[in-house]
Structure 1
Amino acid sequence: MDIELPLGSDPASVRRRVEALEQVLERALTVPGLNRKVGLDAIVGLVPVAGDVVSAAMGLYLVWEARNLGMSKWQLARMTANVGFDTMVGAIPLAGDLFDFVFRSNSRNLRIIRKHLDKHHPQTRVIEA
């Protein structure tokens, strides 16, 4: 699997980057036996304190990309709240780790970004076969 991410600041490049990041953070691996996908966010979150900080930083990168797209303050606030809520609850030992398995703030934030891109930059849409 050789993925080349675009470095441009155009909406199509941003879309490819945030979709790839969300894939890595939320759906990179399948848990054997459960047939449930997990990503780096849940795995790194198992490390006390440092894992939660790293997860929050990666989630905030999506918010930063959204800001660069010119998304509204309301959308950015919702996305920041998703990351903040995930970080706060994820910081609780054991319960937070289970919560990370269910609450996917990066997937929620990707939906917000996609909705914005589909409305304001429809040429970035990718039709999947």
Structure 2
Amino acid sequence: MNSRSATYGEVLRPRGIGRSGAFSDENLEFLARVLDDWFRIPGTSIRFGIDGIIGLVPGIGDLLSGLASAVIVIAAWARGVPTAGLLRMMANIGIDVVVGAIPFIGDAFDIAWKANRRNYELLTRHIAQPRRHTWKDWVFLFVLGAMFLALLAVPVVVTIWLLGWLLGIPMHPIWQR
């Protein structure tokens, strides 16, 4: 009896475990390793992958690494990972691409964030425990949504203030300080 059959039972494993082909556990784990921790800086424990190297190319590098990262999310969807898990995986990639686009700081962030490793771990956790979301999944999504709404609100507020100032419209007393 191998370790997989001992862990998941003799007869039936949960849907998606141990798939063959492009979305096999081994291929997805290998992709996460290549993208996030394939190389090690000698004399340190710092690891980085192709994602960090491709991100050095201005403009298109982070977009290409984001597309490569999407393979794990597509595999998770094909295996039946719940919506909260998929949203969290897409948020990890979004954060990686957006922050990674900042010159120099973003490249260091790419090395530290390891979105593909995070997403592979989310995939295996959700497959092992189907339809079970942790409170961390929901808190992460809520905080991310609140930050997104705040980022959308800033340009609107600044535009309204700027138009009011240009048109000479009296401002609310709080804004006059």
Task: Judge same fold: TM > 0.5, yes or no.
Answer: yes
Q: Which deviations, in whole Å up to 9, do the C-alpha atoms of 1:73-107 show, x marking residues without a partner?
A: 11100000000011000000111011111111111
Q: Tell me how far 1:15 sits from its aligned partner.
A: 1.5
Cross-structure match for 2:157: none
Name the counterpart of 1:112: 122
2:45 and 2:121 mapped to 1: Cα distance?
Answer: 23
| Identity %, equivalent residues | 36
Distance 1:32 1:43 in 2: 16
Task: Using the TM superposition, give the Cα deviation of residue 117 of structure 1 relative to its aligned residue in structure 2, in angstroms.
Answer: 2.5
Aligned equivalents of 2:60, 2:79: Cα separation in 1: 29
Decide which of 75, 84, 87 is 1:77's aligned counterpart. 87
Q: Contact 2:81–2:127 (CA<8 Å) still a contact in 1?
A: no
Question: Which of 104, 107, 110 in structure 2 is aligned with 1:100?
Answer: 110
SS of corresponding position for 2:129? helix
Structure 2 residue runs without a partner (length 5+) = 1-15, 131-177
Q: What TM-score do the two structures reach when normalised by structure 1?
A: 0.80
- Which one has a bigger Cα radius of gyration? 2
Q: Considering Cα pairs closer than 8 Å and 6+ residues apart, tell me whether 1 or 2 has the greater RCO.
A: 1
How far residue 118 of structure 1 moved from its aligned partner, in angstroms, is: 2.3
For the 8 Å contact 2:93–2:115, the answer to whether it is kept is: yes
- Alignment of structure 1 residues 1-129 onto 2, 5 Å: 11-12=17-18, 13=20, 14-120=24-130
User: What is the CA deviation profile of residues 20-46 of structure 1, one whole-angstrom value per residue up to 9, with x for unaligned ones?
Assistant: 101101111111233321111111111
- Report how far residue 61 of structure 1 moved: 1.0
- SS of equivalent residue, structure 1 residue 11: coil
Q: Tell me how large the CA RMSD over aligned residues is.
A: 1.3
**In structure 2, C-alpha distance between the alignment counterparts of 1:82 and 1:110, rounded to whole Å:** 11
CA distance in 1, matches of 2:31, 2:37: 10
Please tell me the residue identity of whatever aligns with 1:32.
P
Question: Aligned pair count?
Answer: 111
Q: Which has the higher helix share?
A: 2
TM-score (normalizing by structure 2): 0.59
Provide runs of 4+ in structure 1 moved above 4 Å: none
Structure 1: tracts of 5 or more residues without a match: 1-9, 121-129
Distance 1:98 1:27 in 2: 13
The answer (yes or no) to whether the contact 2:35–2:116 under 8 Å persists in 1 is yes
